[in-house]
Amino acid sequence: MRIALTIAGSDSGGGAGIPADLKTFAALGVHGTSAITCITAQNPKRVLGVQACRPELLRQQLKAVFAELPPAAAKCGMLFSATNVGIVAEFLQQRRHRPPLIVDPVMISTSGARLLRHRALDLLKRRLLPLATLVTPNVDEAGILAGRRLMSVDDLRFAAREIKKRFGCAALVKGGHLTGLSEAADIFFDGKTELLLTAPFVWGVRTHGTGCTYSAAITGYLALGFSLTDAVVKAKEFIANAIAGHREAGGHSILNSFWASRLRLR
């Protein structure tokens, strides 16, 4: 089996972070490994608390995975602190054979809790994004990275190009939070290719962990050997189906990462 790595926070509610990433990897037939950056006490409604893992433990998790289960692709989700960002950046810089890296710059939870400290954001920009193959910000995150509020698909296009210019990595700017659109639109730009990716909105569903699942699907497809462009296109299909096929648990909508019992990887 191909191996993928997620470097992210836990979610005690099982909808986002490490649980979402590992479910996505499993759905794609990829062996998932993990390095937990912090433990969160949360559910689909709110985050009650966050505690970062000890720096040495995060470093040891990364060493343990790369020593025996070298990933074909990796992603970063919630890093939370500047210390965690620095550890991950330093570790990856030292790798002779560094896997493709997807950075999901988790800054604020759906419920409004801050999940990336201010100093950590500065370090993420300076040290981690230059190592990334792709960054996958939502509208608010992309606005912070590009330095402008985003209100339209044309704004998403500007942000994707500006992020590529500033940080050197490809960008997938997700427009699911834009208002007034009939479809969920995302813009991908890698310096040469620009894609407009759309899917119908599923109304009346408030899902938790869509960004985590989307970036994990890209990581999983990269681990399987797909090009970055193809991985992004297939991941858009994956997340659209996971939302459309959502299930209910405890009165909350839950993404269905196993919407197809056997995904055709073509």
Residues 47-82: tens digit of each pLDDT: 899 899 999 999 999 999 999 999 999 999 999 899
State residue 265's pLDDT score.
Answer: 45
Among the listed residues 209, 213, 219, 236, the single catalytic one is 209
Active site residue 207: yes
Q: What is the mean pLDDT of residues 161-180?
A: 91
Among the listed residues 33, 40, 83, 207, the single catalytic one is 207
Among the listed residues 14, 212, 219, 220, the single catalytic one is 212
pLDDT digits (tens, 9 = 90+) for 98-147: 999 999 998 876 655 566 777 888 999 999 999 999 999 999 999 999 99
Q: How far is CA 240 from the centre of its chain?
A: 15
Among the listed residues 14, 86, 211, 220, the single catalytic one is 211
Active site residue 174: yes
> What percent of the chain clears pLDDT 90, i.e. is strictly above it?
77
Active site residue 165: no
Among the listed residues 23, 75, 174, 234, the single catalytic one is 174
Q: Are 41 and 48 in contact (CB under 8 A)?
A: yes
Report the predicted TM-score, pTM, of the whole model to 2 decimal places: 0.94
Closest residue by Cα to residue 88 from 4, 170, 7? 7
Q: What is the mean pLDDT of residues 5-27?
A: 96
State residue 213's pLDDT score.
Answer: 96
Length of the chain: 266
What is the Cα–Cα distance from 80 to 123, expressed in whole angstroms?
11
Question: Which domains can be identified in the chain, with CATH numbers?
Answer: 3-254 (3.40.1190.20)
Among the listed residues 24, 210, 213, 219, the single catalytic one is 210
Active site residue 147: no
Active site residue 209: yes
State residue 223's pLDDT score.
Answer: 98
What is the Cα–Cα distance from 28 to 261, expressed in whole angstroms?
10
State the chain's mean pLDDT as an integer.
91
